[in-house]
Amino acid sequence: MVVADILRGRSSLSALLPPALARLGDARDRGLLQELAYGTLRHQPRLAFLARQLLQKPLKERDQDIQALILLGLYQLREMRVPEHAALSATADAAREFGKEWAVSLINAVLRNYQRGADALNAKAADDQAAQLGHPVWLLKRLREDWPEHWRGIVAHGNQSPPLTLRVNLRRGDVASYHARLAKADIESSLNPHAAAALTLDRAVDVDLLPGFREGDASVQDAAAQLVPGLMNLEPGQRVLDACAAPGGKTGHLLEAADVDLLALDIDAQRTERIRENLDRLRLHADIRVGDAAAPDTWWDGKPFDRILLDAPCSGSGVIRRHPDIKVLRRAADIPSLAERQGRLLNALWPTLAPGGELLYVTCSVLNAENSAVTEAFLAHHDDAEARPIDAEWGHAQPVGRQTLPGEHGDDWGMDGFYFARLRKRA
């Protein structure tokens, strides 16, 4: 069960949900499963609070499947247009499928007690910080510290469903033409003033309904992520490294933007196949390798790169609305280790950059500890490195680099929380 495995910390929603959806033949069933999984995890802090009030004692670790069913049932009662009797019976029946007959009466009792005492329970939840704001307490504390004037907006957008934004493949057409093709298919969209190839849909649709999607005419990519090629000052013939490249969205965009000699690297062999699939659909080519970006001696041929994209592993705190399981999976203790890893990657890749070359450091985090703190520390220890300015109308200037915040420019622009820093190696 997808939600139960996430509560156990076994894997992520992006890894668990696609195979679960593939096992369902009916499109309506797939839509329901996706809504239940995303919605339950998006509202997990409040649902977990309510469950704690309704359970006489916490469930054992081995019964996280029952905990997940209770959260799913509460989500249906609170947020979905599912008849109450159907939500109760379907949730309780699922416990039988897990071979836990004893839990049927427990689930029924918990959900019925919520129905009877919903007003009082919801009022109590309004006094709990995590339940009220829909984020874990440790993250709320960090956001207040890092973004005292903006944290409420970050939190509000973290609790919303994200817009679907497309990247038009400018090798195969122009934005205006694709905008017209969408309109002809009764799909309304808006242009983005900051991401030249972006179109944000008024409502999300299945990608199979997008004209020319299978032929590579467009890709799904957040508008903030689409800022990358414009910040890299690419020129034809340059040798480019896309480190930590999977699943390949930015890889494809770099190749759409310029005729470069690109090495796409990722440590995960299975995710590397996703890069290949994405490039095949776009009819583009890169040298794709499995390798650890922090250990160049295992994959680098010694020939310097003119440009490096380091899309560093991070907390994902800027894309929670797209990945609500982050609210469950990420812990405060993860941030120092992530920052250490990010610094290690920067230090390891720097020798592979040619003099006069540039490295673009990117995260989808809004936490300073993973962003400016990392790049400032790097610059302090590398005399041959300098920060290049990012002059833009979007986002916020940082001590080093620039930051976008989730939804800040309006959902019709589809911007998530991304950090960018341009680092140049002195010639």
**HSE-up of residue 396 (Cα within 13 Å, Cβ side):** 18
Cα separation of 63 and 260, whole Å?
Answer: 52
Alpha helices in 159-221 (DSSP H): 175-184
Quote the crossing angle between the two packed helices 64-79 and 44-54, to the nearest 10°. Answer: 110
Cα separation of 194 and 404, whole Å?
Answer: 12
Asked if 236 contacts 212 with a C-beta cutoff of 8 angstroms, the reply is no
- Which amino acid type is present at position 195? A
Active site positions, annotated: 364
Cα separation of 307 and 360, whole Å?
Answer: 8
- Which amino acid type is present at position 314? C
Cα separation of 109 and 88, whole Å?
Answer: 10
Asked if 288 contacts 272 with a C-beta cutoff of 8 angstroms, the reply is yes
